[in-house]
Amino acid sequence: MIEPSTVVARADLELITLAQQGDRQAFGELVRRYRERVIGIVYRMCGDMQLAEDAAQEAFVRAWQQLPRYQPHAPFQSWLYRIALNRATDVLRADRETANVEDLPLVAPDIGPEAAAERNALHEQIRRAVLDLPEASRSVLILREYEGLSYKEIAETLSIPLGTVMSRLNYARGRLREWLSPWLEEKV
């Protein structure tokens, strides 16, 4: 399990300070560092890679605009994730029909077509199960299961109480266990 640090790494902080003063190169370095995680979160939220990349770019542009108001005592990661999640929510609102089943992930070439089909079916099932969760519990689940954030960090990111983090996570896991039960039992 990953336990990301709650404090902003020193180098990050320097880049943030420079970026706050208008240094685009420093901000570019921050984009490079957080790109993958931000895209990942947005992808898990909306289930479409193209949308996710566009929304992630917009999230970074928004972060640049809002950076002067960022206070370094709050974790930068939480602050950035919040912007990304808000952007993902906007995208979902604007494009409800994107949750349909297309755009399957590429199949690894070294497995047979049957195994590939099976694996794709599993990936798809998981993706859809996550997407079928209500947005509120989906974001908590993504931050916990895929980003490894602590409850406290999730609470900060989403501006919700710790108890709400726990109840939403419990709800999300309960639903997923129900929906994905064939795959969970199979492995016994």
Partner 1 sequence: MSEHVQRELEAYYDGQLHGTQQKRVATHLETCAECCAELTRLERLSALLQEAPVPAARLAPERFTTQVRLQLQPRDVPERRRHHWAIPALLVGAWSFMEAVWLVSRGLMVALALGLGERPEMAWFNPNRGTSLWQLLQGMESGWQGALSLFSFLSSTLLSTLLPLVLLGSISILFWGWWLAWRPHEIKNGNR
Residue 16: count of CB within 10 angstroms of its CB = 20
Q: Report how many residues bind partner 1 under the rule CB under 8 A.
A: 51
Q: Is 13 in the site for partner 1 (CB under 8 A)?
A: no
- Smallest separation, CB 155 to partner 1 (Å): 11
Contact 13, 72 (CB under 8 A): yes
Taking each helix axis from N to C end, the angle separating 24-46 and 49-66, rounded to the nearest 10 degrees, works out to: 140
- Smallest separation, CB 43 to partner 1 (Å): 5
Q: Is 123 in the site for partner 1 (CB under 8 A)?
A: yes
Give backbone dihedrals phi and psi of 55, rounded to 5 degrees, phi first.
-65, -35
Contact 149, 75 (CB under 8 A): no
Cα–Cα distance for residue pair 68/70, rounded to 1 Å: 6
Cα–Cα distance for residue pair 120/97, rounded to 1 Å: 21
Beta carbon nearer to partner 1, 1 or 96: 1
Q: Largest alpha-carbon pair distance within the chain? A: 56
Span 125-184, contacts to partner 1 by CB under 8 A: 126-127, 130, 144-146, 150-151, 166, 169-170, 173, 176-177, 180, 183-184
- Smallest separation, CB 31 to partner 1 (Å): 5
Residues that bind partner 1 (CB under 8 A): 1, 3, 20-24, 27-28, 31-32, 35-36, 39-40, 43-44, 49-50, 53, 56-57, 60-61, 64-65, 67-68, 103, 105-106, 122-123, 126-127, 130, 144-146, 150-151, 166, 169-170, 173, 176-177, 180, 183-184, 187
